[in-house]
Amino acid sequence: MKEVVRTESAPAPFQGAPYSQAIKANGFVFVAGQVGIKPDDPQPVGDNIREQTEQTLTNLGAILEAAGSSMDRLVKTTVFLTDLNDFQGMNEVYAKHVGDQPPARSTFEVAKLPPGLLVEIEAIAQQ
């Protein structure tokens, strides 16, 4: 069985797209890609990687909490950057959120994210 996770503490699916913030299944939480926008404002939180990564991880944490999980239960993340030169700034913020037992991670440079967005992070965590 799977269970849809939804919280008002993180942005709703982008422009009403047909996906869930997260799905709980078989003891895991699968979180859709999160970006640097606040739940009540569709505009990016800033124009730099640190601000956007901070908000992205805040959104991710809120969804994990709603699912009965937490950042310390992350097992895998995937980070998408519009510019791999932003890796260091993203990584500094990311490190503060994932603690001393960080999850496995992949990081990719992508051609494009929605306008003004620099980073997107998806995740898998234990419940």
Over residues 113-123, the pLDDT tens digits come to: 999 999 999 99
Number of structural domains the chain divides into: 1
Phi, psi torsion values for 51, nearest 5 degrees: -60, -45
Question: Which residue range forms the structural domain that includes residue 108?
Answer: 2-126
Cα–Cα distance for residue pair 64/29, rounded to 1 Å: 7
CA-based nearest residue to 78, from 127, 34, 20: 34
Q: Residue 124 contacts by C-beta under 8 Å, 6 or more apart in sequence?
A: 28, 29, 30, 31, 74, 75, 76, 77, 103
Q: What CATH number should be reported for the domain holding residue 44?
A: 3.30.1330.40
13-50 pLDDT per residue, tens: 877 789 999 999 999 999 999 999 999 999 999 999 99
Question: What does pTM read for this prediction?
Answer: 0.96
Rounded CA-CA distance 46/55 in Å is 10
